[in-house]
A and B are shown apart, each in its own frame.
Chain A
C-alpha cells in the first residue's frame, strides 16, 4: 500500500535513499518543514553558524570522502549565502547537493519575505539546478540531483523547493530510472585516440605527465602511478592534484604554476609532450598561454569535452573518465612495449635532476628571527609523519602548504583552487573531519582568511568536531601585500589586519576551543605538540609569523613561464 508523505518527509527519505549520512545547514522560514522529519531520520544535521560555512562544510566532506556533500538553507539570504560555496564547488568540480527552501509557489515573483530568485542566481554557478513545483516530482528530482553531482565531471547541483511543496502530501514512490536524454557523459576513451596517445608518449623525448584534480575526482591515483612508472614519465601535480602522485616518488616533480617549483614549471615549458589528465590548463598553471610550453604536443584526457581545446589545442584529445582512460593507456602501453623497457630518456631526466639541484624550494629559519610559515608546515609534517588531511585557505599560507607538505595520498589536501575563496579552510576542515572522523584534520589558515569564517569553530566545538587550525598571523593580507610590494612600488593599501586584534587565543577559548600561541621559532614544535595532544576539542594555534615574507618562486600574472622569479632580487 502506498504511503502518504509530505514533501518534506519525501525529501528526507530521498536523501536517506541516496545514502546521505550528514547534512550541513541552517534552518529558516521556508525550509522549516524539512527540519521536522530530520528529527526522525538517522541523517546527522550539523548546524552551521552561517550558510557559507554549511556550503564549504559540504565541499570539505566531499573532497575528503569522494561522496556527495549535502547542505541545506532557507530561502532568500540563506540561499544567497550559499552562492560562494556553490561557485567554489563548481570551479573545483566538487560533488555537492544544495537544498534550499523557497517561498510558496503562489508568492513567487511577489517580492515576498525572504524571497530571492535562487534558481536564476544559482544557474551560472551550478552544474544544474531545479525549482520543484509539484510534490510528486521530488523523489525523481533528488535522485537526478545526486546523479548529476556525482557523475561525469562532478559539480554542485541546487534544488530549490517552495514551502507549499514541502507541506503538500504525496503518495511516496521510489524514484524511477534517471531520464536525462541530454546527459550521457563519456567514460571510456576512444580506442584509436588511446593508441595514438601511447605511440606519441613512447616516441617523446621530453614528456611531462600533467596531472590535475580530475585524477583525485576519478579515484585514479593508483593507475596514475602505474602508468607513470610503466611509461617512465615525470609527473607534475597541480594545486588541485596534490596527493594524486606521491611527492616522495622519484618521478615526482611537484607543483607547477604561478607558485610552483622551478623544475615543474620549466619541465612543462621545455617539454616536447604534455600528457594532461584531468587538468584544464588553468591560467595559474600556464602563465601567458601564447608562450606556454611552445614545443610541446598535447595529449588531453578529460571527462568534460569542453575543457579539451578550450585553452590549448590538443593533438590527441581523449574524452573519458581519468581512471578508465588510464587503464586503457596502461593496456595499450603494455601492448606497445611488449615486454621491453620504456625509453630511458636519460638526457631529460638528467636535465630535470640538474634543475632540481640548482633550484630547490628553500627558505631560511633564523632561530632568533620571526617564525617562517614554511618552518611551521615542515615541523607539522614531521610531527604527524605526514599522516593528516591538510586544509588550506587562500593566499601565501596556501602556497607554502602546497609547496612544503610532502603529499603521498589522494584526498589528503583540500583547498579552494579555482575560485580562491578566502575563508574556505575552517568550514571545509569541519566537513572533512565529519566525513573522516578518524583522521587528523589540520587546517592551515591565514589570519585574513580565518577572520572570514572563524565563527564555524563554534559549530566545531558544539558539534564535537575536533579539528585543528593553524592561524598564520602576519597581521596582513599577505598575498595582497606581496603584490603591492612587487608590483605597486611598496605602496601598501588596505592590507593591515593588525597582529594584536583579535587575540586568537581568547577568541578560540570564547568559541569553546583550545587556544595556543607560538611567537618564536623555538616555540613552534612544543606548541604543535600541545595542539596534537588535544583530542576532545577543536584547537586553534596562532603562529606569529614573519610579516614581510614572500612566496617564491613566482611567475607574475600574465608573464611567461619562461620568466620564473626565484626571489625578490630577480625583480630588481
Chain B
C-alpha cells in the first residue's frame, strides 16, 4: 500500500540528506520524493510516497528530525496529486498517426520528434500517467523519466490525527 506524506521542513542545507538518511537507517522504503520551495522562503515542502505498513513510525521518526516542522499523511480522495513525465516511444511512420491520436486523448504534448521516435510530455494525476504508459507499451517505450509526485491536501480537514503528533 502506498502512502503520500507531505513534509514541511526548514529550508536548511542538508535537510534532504537528513530525511533520506533517516529513511535508509530505519529501513523504510521511499517510492518517490520531491522537494521544493514553498510560499514561505524559510520552508521547503517534500512530498514523499512510501511503501509499507509502518506509517505511524515513519511519521513519528520524521517529526523527530529537528528541522521537520509538520508532517501530514494525505488521504486518498482528499488529495490533489500531480506528476509530470517525459516519455520517448518508438514511432514507426506507419503508426505515428494513431499514436498522436492516442496522445491527444491524454493531453500529452509532443516535445520532440526524431526519425524513429516521438517524445511526449504529460502532466496529471499519477493514475492517468500510468494509463498512458500502458497504452504506449505496445509501441515500445525507449526512455521514461518521471518527476515524482507532488501533492496537496484538498483542505485542512484531511490532516490525519497522527499527522499532528509532536516529537522530542
Chain A contact residues, CB within 8 Å of chain B: 119-120, 123-124, 127-128, 131, 133, 148, 152-153, 180-186, 303-306, 309-310, 319
Q: Give CA–CA (A128, B69) in the complex, Å.
A: 15
Q: Given A304-B64, A304-B167: A123 and B56 within 8 A (CB)?
A: no
Q: How many B residues are at the interface, by size bracket?
A: 20 to 34
Q: Does B167 contact A306, Cβ atoms closer than 8 Å?
A: yes
The reply on B57 being an interface residue by CB < 8 A is yes
Task: Pick the interface stretch among B13-21, B81-89, B95-103, B149-157.
Answer: B13-21
| Contact sample, A vs B, 12 pairs, CB 8 Å cutoff | A120-B17, A123-B18, A131-B14, A182-B66, A182-B67, A185-B166, A303-B168, A305-B60, A305-B63, A306-B61, A309-B57, A310-B57
The reply on B165 being an interface residue by CB < 8 A is yes
Q: Does A304 contact B69, Cβ atoms closer than 8 Å?
A: no
Tell me the residues in window 134-168 of chain B with beta carbons closer than 8 Å to chain A beta carbons: 165-168
- Mostly helix, strand, loop or mixed at chain A's interface? loop
Q: Does A306 contact B57, Cβ atoms closer than 8 Å?
A: yes
Q: Which residues of the partner chain A approach B67 to less than 8 Å between Cβ atoms?
A: 182
Q: Give CA–CA (A153, B63) in the complex, Å.
A: 13
Q: Which residues of the partner chain A approach B125 to less than 8 Å between Cβ atoms?
A: none
Report the minimum CB–CB distance from B161 to chain A (whole Å).
12
Most chain-B Cβ atoms within 10 A of its Cβ — which of A127, A128, A148, A305?
A305
The reply on B68 being an interface residue by CB < 8 A is yes
Q: Does B168 contact A186, Cβ atoms closer than 8 Å?
A: yes
Report the minimum CB–CB distance from A134 to chain B (whole Å).
12
Q: Give CA–CA (A103, B92) in the complex, Å.
A: 57
Q: Which residues of the partner chain B approach A183 to less than 8 Å between Cβ atoms?
A: 66, 167
Q: Does B61 contact A182, Cβ atoms closer than 8 Å?
A: no
Q: Does A182 contact B57, Cβ atoms closer than 8 Å?
A: no
Q: Give CA–CA (A123, B114) in the complex, Å.
A: 47
Cross-chain contact of A305 among B9, B70, B165 (Cβ < 8 A): B165
Q: Give CA–CA (A304, B65) in the complex, Å.
A: 12
Chain B contact residues, CB within 8 Å of chain A: 9-10, 13-14, 17-18, 21-22, 25, 56-57, 60-61, 63-70, 165-168
Q: Which residue of B lies closest to A185 (CB)?
A: B168
Q: Give CA–CA (A124, B64) in the complex, Å.
A: 12
Report the minimum CB–CB distance from B153 to chain A (whole Å).
19
Cross-chain contact of A182 among B17, B56, B68 (Cβ < 8 A): B68
Q: Does B10 contact A309, Cβ atoms closer than 8 Å?
A: no
Q: Given A124-B25, A181-B10, A182-B69: A305 and B168 within 8 A (CB)?
A: yes
Q: Give CA–CA (A185, B166) in the complex, Å.
A: 7
Q: Give CA–CA (A181, B9) in the complex, Å.
A: 9
Given contact pairs A153-B168, A184-B166, A185-B168, a sample of 20 additional A-B residue pairs in the complex whose CB atoms are under 8 Å apart: A119-B14, A120-B17, A123-B17, A123-B18, A152-B167, A180-B66, A181-B10, A182-B10, A182-B66, A182-B67, A182-B68, A183-B66, A183-B167, A185-B167, A303-B168, A305-B167, A305-B168, A306-B63, A306-B167, A309-B56
Q: Which residues of the partner chain A approach B57 to less than 8 Å between Cβ atoms?
A: 306, 309-310
Q: Which residues of the partner chain A approach B21 to less than 8 Å between Cβ atoms?
A: 123-124
Report the minimum CB–CB distance from B163 to chain A (whole Å).
12
Report the minimum CB–CB distance from A256 to chain B (whole Å).
24
Q: Which residues of the partner chain B approach A152 to less than 8 Å between Cβ atoms?
A: 167-168
Q: Which residues of the partner chain A approach B56 to less than 8 Å between Cβ atoms?
A: 309
Q: Which residues of the partner chain A approach B17 to less than 8 Å between Cβ atoms?
A: 120, 123
Q: Which residue of B lies closest to A183 (CB)?
A: B66
Q: Give CA–CA (A153, B13) in the complex, Å.
A: 24
